[in-house]
Amino acid sequence: MSDTPLLKVKDISKFYGSRIGCRDVSFDLWPGEVLAIVGESGSGKTTLLNCISTRLLPTTGSVEYHMRDETYRELFRMNEAERRFLMRTDWGFVHQNPADGLRMTVSAGANVGERLMAIGNRHYGNIRATAVDWLERVEIDADRIDDQPRAFSGGMRQRLQIARNLVTGPRLVFMDEPTGGLDVSVQARLLDLVRGLVNDLGLSAIIVTHDLAVARLLSHRMMVMKDGYVIEHGLTDRVLDDPREPYTQLLVSSILQV
Amino acid sequence: MATPLVVSEVFKSFTMHLRDGIRLPVVADVSFSVAAGECVVLGGPSGIGKSSLLKMIYGNYAVDAGQILVAHKDRITDLATADPRTVLEVRRHTMGYVSQFLRTVPRVAAIDVVAEPLLARGVALADARQRAGALLAQLNLPQELWQLPPATFSGGEQQRVNIARGFITDHAILLLDEPTASLDARNRAVVVAMIEEKKKAGVALLGIFHDEEVREAVGSRILDVSRFSPRKSAA
């Protein structure tokens, strides 16, 4: 069991004027750990995700990341170029809407290959071979490699976005409602795929979702947010089987049984 | 060697905030231990808190007070206060759990459901699958089902997948929640033999068995959970 957290989040708050986005959030994320952030729309979960992933500047607080050279770096003290390099290589970000994370007018292969080129790969044959391999891992037929994601279904686009993010072997992946807007059958396939990839690659991940079934299937640990605050936090099984807070009890009791 | 599992002065209640904050006491002042090589049977009527007790020990339920001490990697860990990743680490290496129902994951084949706890501990895929297959064969699960996801299996078939998954590791502590409930006599006998093997191997077992025959066959002693009923201690 590793004794150094991958990410140390301390007292993150974000205000939009006088309105609270998220307030006083602190936690450590460990290597190989999947954390789910749940809560209803407007609870602050996406604000928190964006602050941690440096897509948004928090009003207060710090986020330290354990770099590959074993040092900790404060993300908001890095310069823009260093941060972008980190996001392109060691991190992934899977958006709810694949169009936000893909380039819709270049081929599927180029979408995957682009991140490889960003870290210095120049050999066309190798890049294409890696792209084919990743398309297969996310269950997209290799003969679609030259098609643009515009021609893909929603589920395929989302799988392509995942391939694009994982091809550089990141250690940390952020996901914002990765299964939102997909049909249930497509969702199941995607969840299963993500679960397998996370296990095989030993990734750490922070997943924002309002779907407790997604959290149960994918995460080890769960944070419940309401009105910008983390109101309950613990082992996913425990939070779902024995919720303590009134709001968490309401969430859990609202799940429809099939 | 330390006692594998010691439960000490544990209290548990549920507060139902959606029902005007009504407090439902579950158990009070639970203390007992399970030694290596014994199978302790939780006894008492339905609703007395037997399953809840197993869920507290496994970490699915929080406890209000008390200690749940497990011997984990040459140290004693208190699961009542452990952080999530310690609980997961204890589950991976020290404590297994066979629940009544299998929580199926879409698209994962039965043999891989069974092999998964070994993979999580770093065993190679081929070895893990081979051991999974041996267990499924022992439990008489037809080989043509091994490559199928268990979602469409019958209750008894799912339960055998679940048992195989729970028994495949050499966890020092094994919690069993009615593992034989939907099995026929032949497969019940197989499970009884498997529990005996675990006892011989020095595993500490704690279980709920409604089937009297199984209880008689495997139980080293019965722990009457009604002893810990909060209603009694309140009187």
* pLDDT tens digits, B194-234: 999 999 999 999 999 988 999 999 999 999 999 998 875 44
A217, A220, A241 ranked by CB distance to B88: nearest:
A220
* Closest residue by Cα to residue B96 from B231, B191, B221, B204: B204
Quick one: pLDDT at residue A17? 92
Gap between the Cα atoms of A86 and A192, Å rounded = 27
Give the pLDDT mean for A199-219. 91
**CB burial of residue A228 (10 Å; 0-12, 13-18, 19+):** buried
Q: DSSP label at B144?
A: G
Instruction: Specify the DSSP class assigned to residue B100.
Output: S
Which B residues in the span 190-219 are in contact with A, Cβ-Cβ below 8 Å? none
Question: Which token pair is B155?
Answer: 């209750």
Global model pTM greater than 0.80: yes
Using the beta-carbon criterion (under 8 Å), do B106 and A191 form an inter-chain contact?
A: yes
Averaged pLDDT score across all residues of chain B: 93
Q: What is the 3-state secondary structure (H, E, C) of chain A?
A: CCCCCCEEEEEEEEEECCEEEEEEEEEEECCCCEEEEECCCCCCHHHHHHHHCCCCCCCEEEEEEECCCCCEEEHHHCCHHHHHHHHHHCEEEECCCHHHHCCCCCCHHHHHHHHHHHCCCCCHHHHHHHHHHHHHHCCCCHHHCCCCHHHCCHHHHHHHHHHHHHCCCCCEEEEECCCCCCCHHHHHHHHHHHHHHHHHHCCEEEEEECCHHHHHHHCCEEEEEECCEEEEEEEHHHHHHCCCCHHHHHHHHCCCCC
Q: Cβ contact (<8 Å) for A249 and B16?
A: yes
Quick check: helix, strand or coil at residue B205? Answer: strand
Q: How far is A195 from chain B (nearest CA, A)?
A: 10
| pLDDT at residue B171 greater than cutoff 80 | yes
Phi first, then psi: give them for residue B42, nearest 5 degrees. -80, 125
Burial of A49 (0-12, 13-18, 19+ CB in 10 A): buried
pLDDT surpasses 80 at A185: no
**Looking at residues A172-193, what average pLDDT do you find?**
85
pLDDT tens by residue, A103-144? 999 999 999 999 999 888 889 999 999 999 999 999 999 999
- Select the more confidently predicted residue: B174 or A40: B174
Mutation to test the A interface, candidates B20, B55, B85, B175, most A Cβ within 10 Å: B85
How distant, in Å, are the alpha carbons of A19, A108, A166 from that of A135? 43, 8, 11
Q: How far apart are CA A136 and CA B100, in angstroms?
A: 37
Contacts of A192 in chain B (CB under 8 A): 105-108
Mean pLDDT, rounded, for B29-47: 95
Tell me whether strands A19-29 and A7-16 are parallel, antiparallel or unpaired: antiparallel
Tell whether the model's pLDDT for residue A1 goes beyond 60: no
Query: Pairing between strand A34-38 and A204-209?
Result: parallel
pLDDT above 80: residue A2: no
**Residue A229 scores a pLDDT above 90:** yes
| H or E, element range at B212 | helix B212-218
Residues ≥6 apart with Cβ < 8 Å to A185: none
Alpha-carbon torsion B174, B51, B27, A253, what sign? positive
Nearest by CB to A188, which of B15, B62, B106? B106
Of A192, A237, A242, nearest to B107 by CB-CB distance is A192
d(CA B102, CA B7): 26
pLDDT band at A258 (very low <50, low <70, confident <90, very high): low
Task: List all residues 6 or more positions away from B58 whose beta carbon is below 8 Å from its beta carbon.
Answer: B91, B95, B97, B175
B24 by DSSP, 3-state: which?
strand
The DSSP code for B43 is E
Judge contact between A22 and A44, C-beta under 8 A.
yes
Residues of chain A in contact with residue B119, where contact means CB-CB under 8 angstroms, are: 199
Distance CA(B36)–CA(B135), nearest Å, equals 23
DSSP state at residue B134:
H
Q: From chain A, which residues contact B within 8 Å (Cβ)?
A: 1, 30, 33, 188-189, 191-192, 195, 199, 217, 220-221, 234-238, 241-242, 244-246, 249-250, 253
- Cα separation values, A115 from A81, A82, A144, A223, B61, Å: 15, 16, 19, 31, 43
Report pLDDT for A241: 95
Strand ranges across the sheet with B221-224: B95-98, B173-177, B204-208, B39-43, B221-224
Residue A4 near residue A171 (C-beta atoms within 8 A): no
- Per-residue pLDDT, B181: 87
| Contact between B85 and A30 using a beta-carbon 8 Å cutoff | yes
Contact B186, B218 (CB under 8 A): no
Residues of chain B neighbouring A237 (CB-CB closer than 8 A): 59-60
The answer to whether B18 faces chain A, any CB pair under 8 Å, is yes
A chain contacts of residue B16, beta-carbon cutoff 8 Å: 249
Residues B60, A237: C-beta atoms closer than 8 Å = yes
Cα angle for residues A151, A157, A162 (degrees, 5° grid): 150
CB-closest option in A1, A238, A249 to B62: A238
The predicted pLDDT at position B198 comes to: 97
pLDDT in tens, B106-165: 788 999 999 999 998 889 999 999 999 999 999 999 999 999 999 889 999 999 999 999
Residue B18 to residue A246, Cβ atoms within 8 A: yes
Torsion over CA: A130, A131, A135, A141 (sign): negative
Q: In what order do the strands lie in the sheet with A91-94?
A: A91-94, A172-176, A204-209, A34-38, A221-226, A229-235
